Every structure is written in structure tokens, then in C-alpha cells.
Amino acid sequence: MTEDPVKLYVVVMAILVCVLGWVAKESYDQASAYELAIENSERDAKIFRQRATGVTTLINQLSASKLKDLDHITLVENAARAHLGGTPAVTNERPTRIPPKGKELRWKVAVTRSSRGGTKPVTRDQIAKFCRQVELDSRGILKVIEITMNRTQSEGSPPVGAAAEIRDDRYTCSIVVGMRVVD
């Protein structure tokens, strides 16, 4: 092949044409991608502005809530003392994983009867006021996730399951309050 300079010239030119063709195709694809990005830039800018507004709203919501001065458990404890009476037990529960990159933080408020300084049973109205106060104080960041109520038996009340009018409507309860965060 090296003996014939014309064949060598043709082979080298063929290789050069292939390389230049590949470079031209890659350059054309990259230019098309840039043109598409420029065409979509106005739509993307609008989406970024909307998301920035959402972030700003959340920051304003956090700064306006009582969470900026207190931690979450203190806010829940204050609302519990104000509406459920006594000092209900407020405990941290183990965070729950939420796919793909989130978790749910939870706090449990227990209103139980005990001989060691528990709280007295409460009415449904007191429970509702507590739940509303937690959500108001946190500006909707903390949510009531679960409420479990058990009617208590007081002196003179009909037994459970009896077809009689219940006059003393009191409950022990367990209320789970929480919020979702991204890791």
C-alpha cells in the first residue's frame, strides 16, 4: 500500500473525511441541543420563578409561625398544657422514612389516667381545640396525623355498650402530631 502513493492518499483522505463527518455530526447535535435549550428557556424561567415564589412563601410562613422561636416539641407541649390540662406526656416518635428522600417527624401526646400525676380525661371539644391550636401556632406546618380516643367510665355512667344516654363524655386519648421534611 505504501508503494502506491495514490492509494495511500485515497485511504488517508477517506479516514480524514470520516473523522470530519463525525465532528460535523457531533457539532450539529450540540447546536440543536443549544437551540432547544434557548427555545425552552422562557418556559423554564417561568417554572423557576413559580418555585422561587413557593420557597419564599414557605420561608415567610416559617418566620411568621411560632416555630422560629420554639422547637416543635415545646410548641406541642404548650398547646397541650393550654387545652388538655395538667402536663400530658409528649414524646418523640421514631421518624418514618418516606421514599425517595423524605421522612416524617412525629410527636405523640398521651392523655392517660394514672395515679402518678397523669392528666384527667378530656372532652372531645378540648381535643379539637388542642389540635386546632397546634396547626394554627405552626401555621399549618405541623399536622395532626392520628387521634385515638377511648371513652372513660366515671361513677354513675352506664356500662360500655348499654343503650343509655351518656352524660359525662370524657376520654383518654393519644394524639400524633407531625410534619414531613426532605433529607
Distance between CA atoms of 94 and 102, rounded to whole angstroms?
Answer: 14
Distance between CA atoms of 98 and 87, rounded to whole angstroms?
Answer: 31
Q: What is the pLDDT of residue 21?
A: 95
Share of the chain above pLDDT 90, in %: 23
- pLDDT above 80 for 148: yes
Query: Hunting for cell 397541650 — which residue is that?
Result: 80
User: Mean per-residue pLDDT for 39-46?
Assistant: 92
- H-run or E-run covering 177: strand 171-182
- pTM of the shown model: 0.57
In the chain, what's the furthest Cα-to-Cα distance?
119
Q: What is the pLDDT of residue 168?
A: 67
Average pLDDT, the chain: 81
Q: What is the pLDDT of residues 83-135, one digit of tens each?
A: 887 777 777 788 778 888 788 888 888 887 655 555 678 888 888 898 898 88
CB neighbour list of residue 98: distance below 8 Å, 6 or more residues apart = 104, 180
